Amino acid sequence: MSDIIQLLPDHVANQIAAGEVVQRPASVVKELLENAIDAGATNIKLLLKDAGKTLIQVIDDGKGMSVTDARMCFERHATSKIQKAEDLFNLNTKGFRGEALASIAAIAHVELKTKIDTEELGTSIKIEGSKIITQDFINTAKGTSLAVKNLFYNIPARRNFLKSDTVETRHIIDEFQRVALAHSNITFLLHHNNNEVYHLKSSNLRKRIVAIFGTKMNEKLVPINEQTDIIVIEGFVAKPEFAKRKRGEQFFFVNNRFIKSSYLNHAVVNAFDGLLEQGTHPSYFLYLTVPANTIDINIHPTKTEIKFDNEKALYAILRATVKHSLGQYNVAPVLDFNRDANLDTPYHIQKNVAKTTVPTISVDPNFNPFKEDNQKTHHYKKEHQTQSWESLYTDISIADIENKQEDLFNNQQEISTQKTFQIQRKYIMSLIKSGVVLINQSLAHQRILYEEFLESITVKEANSQQLLFPVKISFSSQEIEMIYTIKTELENAGFSFDEFTKDSVTIKGIPVSVTESKITIILEELLNDIDLEVPDASFSHFDVMAKSFAKTLSIKTGTQLSEKEQESLVNDLFSCKEPAVSPFGKQTFKTLTLQEIDNLFNS
């Protein structure tokens, strides 16, 4: 039998490793930004073209690389961060495994320009698919410029799996924000297709958060600060009244590295217990500093998940810290057993002596509750007198009894002729000849609204109601950009815009089916849905929009419906083109035949 196990060529091994390290353009952005930070840069510029598919370039003013280092950095497992395995458990840098640049160079055209301060000339290297094409000395500024062009050019299958430019840009901005929030002392610039998206100057944490998420964010923030032997917690949480229906503005940083932790998130949410509306999520920007040897950050390829040695203690401290700050800044009620000046005795009555006069009590020794005369002469006011217990029966006439019976009969007749019934404010039961139909009121209304919105957006001319006073809504700069890219579709749906600024949009008209109080919620939900997926086809843009509107505006579970509203919902549902499923593929109703009902009792 011939041997079948063989070593993979280096370029194939690098492409396989790239599949783990580079999932999309945002992965490249994260690696290059972190390398620039590790190089000690104080100014970092990120240039993008076509959502990073054509170009991703990071330019920094860090310490740069020597000729040998410039060549070595593209080798697999080449790193300056660790020398022995134990170093993995005492890391204070971003990149450390030495896979990123080798993986990127295997699936793109890469051009590196770098220079250290002590050298007169820098180094330029061009690589295509792991192969070094040229290496020259050049005149360049101190620091490093690394351009990644034509990502996945030699793996077309992987390139085809990339989403639309809008979605990929959003992922890049997410990574950019995480790095920028972790390092407020560094100046960051982001340009996309020659347009400036961010210019974040070196500042403190609060100013950095406001610069990224808009000026309105400043009034929302509650400071967090706690120092213990095992952890230091700093940062901000947003006030409960500004909680959102999406989880976007939730950031944990451990030793200046962004992480995801459902466990720590639960601690924060628990601290907001009783302060949030149902279905909303708090915003927070929390920075945790722990000893490097108490965490393991190499358990996940993207290094966004880490393992703590004493996570239960961290949970308790984090929850208590957030809860304390909410109380300290009068955001949440708090019990304080220290003296409160507001409860002191007012000055003008401090010297007053309490009266010691004992109130007199008058007793009628001849009172007998069983004597009718006593009831009439009792000192209670006449309108509050209690009739004798016999009157409870003697006052009811035969005519009253007959009237009650007639009312009960009429009610039974009404119930027997009613076509629909609401069950637990969630389901509607409708009678049919063959049995009954159980309808999920929320899912059914989603289907009705979805088809109505889709028709009004794509077929009919949408009706718009003009607002008496235009509504100005604040968003982050990237959300404003996203709204602007779908402005035409929103106008087709019935929205009318007056003005766009860097962090706000003014709306002067809305669809007739939308109330003014719902505008912010609808747009936030829409942006969240678009953030998750925006197909390239323009019709699919309308489809995502119709689904988002239907989900946000539909009748929710727990809503009481009148009989007329129930019947209207049933009729509208079965007038739809596809009444059996919601816009998201869930079953809207279930039919139970008489035979199926009989089987429930015969089994």
Q: Do 104 and 187 belong together in one domain?
A: yes
Q: Do 126 and 75 belong together in one domain?
A: yes
The span from the CA of 529 to the CA of 246, in Å, is 10
Q: Do 194 and 210 belong together in one domain?
A: no
Q: What's the pLDDT at 503? A: 81
Q: What's the pLDDT at 112? A: 95
Q: Do 117 and 223 belong together in one domain?
A: no
What tokens does 567 get?
């019947």
| CATH number of the domain residue 236 falls in | 3.30.230.10
Kindly state the average pLDDT of the residues 382-411: 48
Contact 431, 593 (CB under 8 A): no
| Closest C-alpha to 470, from 502, 521, 509 | 509
| Pairing mode, strands 284-289 and 257-259 | unpaired
Buried b (16+ CB within 10 A) or exposed e, 302-319: ebeebebeeeeebbebbb
246 lies in which domain range? Answer: 206-328
Q: Do 91 and 146 belong together in one domain?
A: yes
Contact 307, 271 (CB under 8 A): no
| Closest C-alpha to 276, from 318, 326, 321, 324 | 326
Cβ neighbourhood burial of 587 (10 Å; 0-12, 13-18, 19+): exposed
3-state SS record for 50-100: HHHCCEEEEEECCCCCCHHHHHHCCCCCCCCCCCCHHHHHCCCCCCCCCCH
The span from the CA of 391 to the CA of 401, in Å, is 16
Instruction: DSSP for 238-280, please give it.
Output: E-GGG-BSS--SEEEEETTEEE--HHHHHHHHHHTTTTS-TT-
Last-in-domain residue among 200, 227, 262: 200
For 34, other C-beta atoms within 10 Å of its C-beta total: 22
Q: Do 188 and 89 belong together in one domain?
A: yes
Instruction: Tell me, yes or no, whether 363 lies in a domain.
Output: no
> What pLDDT band is residue 536 in, cutting at 50, 70 and 90?
very low
Q: How many CA atoms lie within 13 A of 536 on its CB side?
A: 7
3-state SS record for 129-168: CCEEEEEEEECCCCEEEEEEECCCCCCHHHHHCCCCHHHH
Region class of 404: left (phi > 0), else alpha (psi between -120 and 50), else beta: alpha
| Pairing mode, strands 232-238 and 250-254 | unpaired
Q: What is the residue whose two structure tokens read 């030699």?
A: 154
Contact 269, 282 (CB under 8 A): yes
Q: What is the residue whose two structure tokens read 């958060």?
A: 209
Q: Do 272 and 124 belong together in one domain?
A: no
The span from the CA of 266 to the CA of 247, in Å, is 13
Q: What's the pLDDT at 416? A: 41
Last-in-domain residue among 328, 352, 368: 328
Provide the sign of the torsion angle of the four alpha carbons 407, 408, 414, 417, taken in this order: negative
Q: What's the pLDDT at 269? A: 92
Q: What's the pLDDT at 444? A: 94
Q: What's the pLDDT at 309? A: 82
Instruction: DSSP for 343-410, please give it.
Output: GSPPGGGTTPPPP-PPPP----TT--TT-HHHHHH-SS-GGGPPPPTTHHHHT--HHHHHHHHHHHHH
| Tens of pLDDT, residues 49-67 | 999 999 999 999 999 999 9
Instruction: Tell me, yes or no, whether 446 lies in a domain.
Output: yes
Q: Which amino acid is at 169?
A: T
The fraction of the chain above a pLDDT of 70, given in percent, is: 76
At residue 483, does pLDDT exceed 70? yes
> What pLDDT band is residue 491 in, cutting at 50, 70 and 90?
confident
| Cα dist from 220 to 55, 241, 244, 473, 576, whole Å | 37, 9, 12, 15, 43
The span from the CA of 119 to the CA of 352, in Å, is 87
| Tens of pLDDT, residues 240-267 | 988 887 777 899 999 998 998 888 999 9
Total domains in the fold of the chain: 3
Instruction: Tell me, yes or no, whether 586 lies in a domain.
Output: no
Contact 143, 60 (CB under 8 A): yes
Q: Do 163 and 227 belong together in one domain?
A: no
> What pLDDT band is residue 299 in, cutting at 50, 70 and 90?
low
Provide the sign of the torsion angle of the four alpha carbons 434, 438, 439, 441, taken in this order: positive
Three-state secondary structure call for residue 517:
helix
Top-confidence residue, 411 or 466 = 466
Q: Do 51 and 166 belong together in one domain?
A: yes
Lowest-confidence pick of 35-39, 101-105, 275-279, 420-424: 275-279
| Tens of pLDDT, residues 330-367 | 665 544 444 444 444 444 444 555 555 566 666 677 76
Instruction: Tell me, yes or no, whether 26 lies in a domain.
Output: yes
Instruction: Tell me, yes or no, whether 361 lies in a domain.
Output: no
Q: Do 15 and 161 belong together in one domain?
A: yes
At residue 183, does pLDDT exceed 80? yes
Kindly state the average pLDDT of the residues 532-539: 48
Q: What's the pLDDT at 210? A: 92
Instruction: Tell me, yes or no, whether 379 lies in a domain.
Output: no
Give the distance, in angstroms, between the CA of residue 147 and the centroid of all CA atoms in the same chain. 32
3-state SS record for 527-594: HHHHHHCCCCCHHHHHHHHHHHHHHHHCCCCCCCCCHHHHHHHHHHHCCCCCCCECCCCCECEEEEEH
Instruction: Tell me, yes or no, whether 346 lies in a domain.
Output: no
| Cα dist from 588 to 424, 441, 445, whole Å | 16, 8, 9
Give the distance, in angstroms, between the CA of residue 140 and the centroid of all CA atoms in the same chain. 43
Contacts of 201 (CB under 8 A, 6+ apart): 187, 211
What tokens does 178 get?
């995480």
For 375, other C-beta atoms within 10 Å of its C-beta total: 15
Contact 534, 544 (CB under 8 A): yes
Q: Do 221 and 174 belong together in one domain?
A: no
The span from the CA of 527 to the CA of 541, in Å, is 12
The span from the CA of 149 to the CA of 81, in Å, is 27
> What pLDDT band is residue 370 in, cutting at 50, 70 and 90?
low
Q: What's the pLDDT at 182? A: 95
Q: Which amino acid is at 125?
A: I
| Cα dist from 88 to 37, 292, 584, whole Å | 19, 10, 45
Last-in-domain residue among 148, 180, 200: 200
| CATH number of the domain residue 177 falls in | 3.30.565.10
| Cα dist from 169 to 165, 222, 478, 581, whole Å | 6, 30, 10, 33
Q: Do 185 and 230 belong together in one domain?
A: no
Instruction: Tell me, yes or no, whether 269 lies in a domain.
Output: yes
Top-confidence residue, 382 or 157 = 157
| CATH number of the domain residue 543 falls in | 3.30.1370.100
pTM of the model: 0.65
The span from the CA of 120 to the CA of 232, in Å, is 44
